[in-house]
Amino acid sequence: MRSLSTRITLWYAVAATLTAGVFMFIGRFLIEESYVEGIDQLIDVEFDEIRPRIENVATERGEQDVIQAISSHVELDASLFFFQIGNSHEDVFFTSANLSGHQLPVAVHGREKVTVEDEEWGALRVREYQVGPYDIHIGSSLDGLYVLVGNLYRLGSIGLIATFLGSVIVGRFLSRAALRSISQIESAATRIDAENLGERIDFEDTGDEVSRLAELLNRTFEKLERSFEEVRRFTADASHELKTPLSLIRLNAEEMLRKEDVGELRRLADNQVSLVDDVSKVVGDLLLLAKADSGVLPLDIRDHSVDDFVEEFSVDAQALCEDKGLSFECSNSFEGVASFDMSWIRQVWFNLISNAIRFSPKGATIAFRSFRSGDDWVVAFGDEGPGIEEDRLAQVFDRFHSAEDPKGGKGVGLGLPFCLSIATLHGGSMRIENRKDGTGALATLAIPLTDRGGS
């Protein structure tokens, strides 16, 4: 396959040659038109010289007197012009000696000026004049024009070949100069692999297409670097999280092989089932999160009444909180319509309230607020727990990052990343921060509204 430089060179050479050819083609017609116009002017001058002589005898004398009046002048200009005089268009009584008794073609009659092809004298330019009762035709050969045009074609062909060859040379130089930056980008991009994704393409920001391409590639490498880092961290975290339960399963299985007591075997079997359930939950959460992150998680986004949805959720949330010895406060100031997947948003809310319950002490209150902020529907979950250390706030959405709650429990660390992915799939956002009054953490979820949302 030809390189881009070769293609650009050929395109440039063909374009330059075609342009030169068009100009030469147009020039040929302009030269021909100018040449013929010059011939017409010369014929007019010639006629102006013989007209007085004809006019002096046209009304008083006969045809022979007309011939005698112009003969000497016609002989002098025989090398340039052909002359023919007749009565009307049919009766020709004089032709110049250089016509050798041959009359001009019939096509010259009745035409003020015309180019005709004579079988004897070739291409002629002829003009017709009227003096008294006589038709006067004066013509001149166009052989000089065709010789000129022929030379033009020959020189033009040589010029076009020279133009093409010169354009190839110049085009090759220009294309290599223009594509030198792309070659440098190619070399730099080739050097970047999984081992040095932190390297970037060094380029001069000129604002042209090449610099924009380099900038795009740098952004792509930056995304790839982040993706590789996430994959490495995810693999390491997943391996760490799964290693412990799998090791325990193996140890229990080995111990079961050594035990003969039925009660002890049942206890170990129960432990196995519990550990397998834990592993299955982690794997299931990982698969769900992978689908959400890749955007292939099916969503059934429809318009729903926010007020009805909040009221239904608050009933279940109230029951959960009371079961853990907590209070639940719910407020909703937005009674409009929002577009969302009811099932997934409900699961996100339960993840958030479960986190709030884990970190809230007995007798604490979990506050839930639903309201409209600009073009977003916002919900916020506030707890009265210990809050989050400032240096950990940036890590709360990392996979497998889970803090131990005051009650001694610890989650898998996939809940908040899943909530963030669901919010992103809805075109929304999510953040975790400490409450300004210092009484716990605040989780906020924002979902864009359609123009049908209420106030």
CA separation for the pair 59, 240 (Å, rounded):
127
Q: Once rounded to an integer, what is the mean pLDDT over residues 373-401?
A: 81
Which pLDDT score is estimated for 6?
79
Q: Give the rounded distance of the alpha carbon of 278 from its chain centre.
A: 48
Using CA atoms, how far apart are residues 81 and 290, in angstroms rounded to an integer?
96
CATH superfamily of this structure's domain 302-448: Histidine kinase-like ATPase, C-terminal domain (3.30.565.10)
Domain boundaries, the chain: 4-149, 209-294, 302-448
Tell me the pTM: 0.46
State pLDDT tens for residues 291-324: 665 555 677 888 999 999 999 999 989 999 998 8
What topology is assigned to 4-149 in CATH? Beta-Lactamase (3.30.450)
* Nearest by Cα to 418 from 366, 347, 337, 355: 347
Dump pLDDT digits (tens) for 41-87.
998 998 998 888 888 876 666 788 888 888 888 888 888 899 988 88
For Cα atoms 404, 409, 413, give the angle at the middle one, nearest 5 degrees: 60
pLDDT at res. 31: 86
Percent of the chain surpassing pLDDT 70: 73
pLDDT of residue 262: 65
* Residue that the structure tokens 């009307």 belong to: 88
Q: Where are the beta strands (DSSP E) in 9-148?
A: 82-87, 91-95, 113-118, 122-131, 134-141
Q: Cβ neighbours of residue 137 under 8 Å, at least 6 residues apart? A: 82, 83, 84, 85, 104, 108, 126, 127, 128, 129
Confidence band (pLDDT; 50, 70, 90) for 327?
A: very high
- d(CA 435, CA 80) in angstroms, rounded, equals 109
**pLDDT grade for 218, boundaries at 50, 70 and 90:** confident
**209-294, CATH topology level:** Helix Hairpins (1.10.287)
At residue 305, the 3 state secondary structure works out as: strand
Asked whether 67 and 94 are in contact (CB, 8 A), the reply is yes
Using the predicted structure, report yes or no on whether residue 381 has a pLDDT greater than 90.
Answer: yes
pLDDT of residue 256: 66
For tokens 């006629």, the residue is: 47
Confidence of residue 453 (pLDDT cuts 50, 70, 90): very low
